[in-house]
């Protein structure tokens, strides 16, 4: 069948004018060229499109995996500051002198340890409810210390009393936890004798 059609086409071309044959060939060539150019153009467009999408995809991936850098300040903030339980106190020169005079008046003739313990009682009271929260307030509290009543608080302290007061003020650990002390040989107050005794240093009894 194909052979018959081919033969027929050749037969018709033989009787077709030369101008028409050239026109037909030109049309066929033009059509083929157009289709070829279109195919080439589509291939070029597809390649460019694929390249563009690939580039966009790569940029997206780069953005996704971009690392986050912490600044030095941020890293420092993450470090938790260390806590301390040490209580820092500052005392004026007048407070130190007043405490030294009380130690001298109350613990005259006592050992150095006994003097530091007397100073510790004053400091312990500043931290307890029911007492003033300053050295001056504790020492001058009504009926708290006999030297205030009889005036011996005004005597100049000796070097050992000054050193004992300084040690009590600067030491992290107190010589005693007591908030009362008395001389059992001379104390006449029944209430003070009823307090729980925690230790004895020299001629003084220390109680809470």
pLDDT band at 3 (very low <50, low <70, confident <90, very high): low
For the segment 104-119, the average pLDDT, to the nearest whole number, is: 97
- Residue 32 pLDDT: 46
Name the residue ranges covered by the structural domains of the chain.
Answer: 93-176
pLDDT for 100 beyond 60? yes
**pLDDT confidence of residue 111:** 97
CA distances from 17 to 5, 12, 147 (A): 20, 10, 149
State the architecture of 93-176 in CATH terms: Orthogonal Bundle (1.10)
By percentage, how much of the chain surpasses pLDDT 70?
Answer: 57
- Tell me the per-residue pLDDT of 83-93, one tens digit each, with 9 for 90 and over: 333 445 689 99
Mean pLDDT of the chain: 76
Question: Would you state the pLDDT for residue 172?
Answer: 87
Mean pLDDT value across residues 2-23: 52
Question: Is a pLDDT exceeding 80 seen at residue 19?
Answer: no
More confident residue, 70 or 110: 110
Nearest-angstrom CA–CA distance, 56 and 150: 95
pLDDT surpasses 80 at 115 = yes
Question: Has residue 80 got a pLDDT over 50?
Answer: no
Smallest CA-to-CA distance from 155 within 208, 109, 113, 100 is with 100
Per-residue pLDDT at 90: 81
Please report the pLDDT score of residue 45 as a whole number: 45
Q: Does 49 have pLDDT greater than 90?
A: no
Q: pLDDT at position 144, please?
A: 95
- Each residue's pLDDT tens digit, 125-162: 999 999 999 999 999 999 999 999 999 999 999 999 99
- For residues 176-186, one letter each, b for 16 or more C-beta atoms within 10 angstroms of the residue's C-beta and e for the rest, the string is bebbbbbeeee
Asked if the model's pLDDT at residue 169 lies above 90, the reply is yes
């Amino acid at each position: 069948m194909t052979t018959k059609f081919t033969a027929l086409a050749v037969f018709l071309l033989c009787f077709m004018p030369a101008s028409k044959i050239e026109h037909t060939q030109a049309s066929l060539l033009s059509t083929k060229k157009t289709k070829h150019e279109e195919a080439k153009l589509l291939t070029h467009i597809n390649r460019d499109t694929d390249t563009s999408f690939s580039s966009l995809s790569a940029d997206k991936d780069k953005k996704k995996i971009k690392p986050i850098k912490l600044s030095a300040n941020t890293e420092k903030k993450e470090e938790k500051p260390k806590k301390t339980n040490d209580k820092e106190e500052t005392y004026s020169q007048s407070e130190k002198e007043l405490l030294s005079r009380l130690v001298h008046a109350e613990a005259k003739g006592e050992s150095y340890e006994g003097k530091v313990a007397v100073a510790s009682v004053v400091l312990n009271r500043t931290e307890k409810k029911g007492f003033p929260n300053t050295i001056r307030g504790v020492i001058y509290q009504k009926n708290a210390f006999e030297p205030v009543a009889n005036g011996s608080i005004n005597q100049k302290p000796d070097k050992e009393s000054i050193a004992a007061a300084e040690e009590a003020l600067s030491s992290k650990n107190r010589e005693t936890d007591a908030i009362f002390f008395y001389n059992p040989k001379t104390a006449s107050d029944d209430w003070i004798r009823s307090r729980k005794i925690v230790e004895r240093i020299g001629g003084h009894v220390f109680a809470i």
